[in-house]
Amino acid sequence: MRTSRFGNMLTVGAIGLAAACLAGGLIAAGEALFALAPAALGGMWAAGVILQRRWTRVVALPGMIFVAAGAPFVQVAPFVALAGLVATLVAWNLDDLEQRLTQVACVIDERGVRRIRTVWLLVVAGASLGIGGVALAVRFEIGITGALILGALAILGLSRMMALLRRMNEDVHQS
Write out the DSSP string of the chain: ----HHHHHHHHHHHHHHHHHHHHHHHHTT-TTTTHHHHHHHHHHHHHHHHT-THHHHHHHHHHHHHHHHGGGGT--HHHHHHHHHHHHHHHHHHHHHHHHHHSS--TTHHHHHHHHHHHHHHHHHHHHHHHHHHHH-----HHHHHHHHHHHHHHHHHHHHHHHHHHHHHHHH-
Residues near 94 by Cβ (< 8 Å), separated by ≥ 6? 7, 10, 11, 14, 118, 121
Per-residue pLDDT of the chain (175 residues; tens, 9 = 90+): 456 777 788 899 999 999 999 999 999 999 999 999 999 999 999 999 998 888 888 899 999 999 999 999 999 999 999 999 999 999 999 988 888 888 777 778 778 888 888 888 888 899 889 988 888 888 878 888 988 998 898 888 878 877 877 777 777 666 6
Structural domain spans, the chain: 5-139, 143-175
Q: Taking the complete model, does pTM exceed 0.85, yes or no?
A: no
pLDDT score of 172: 63
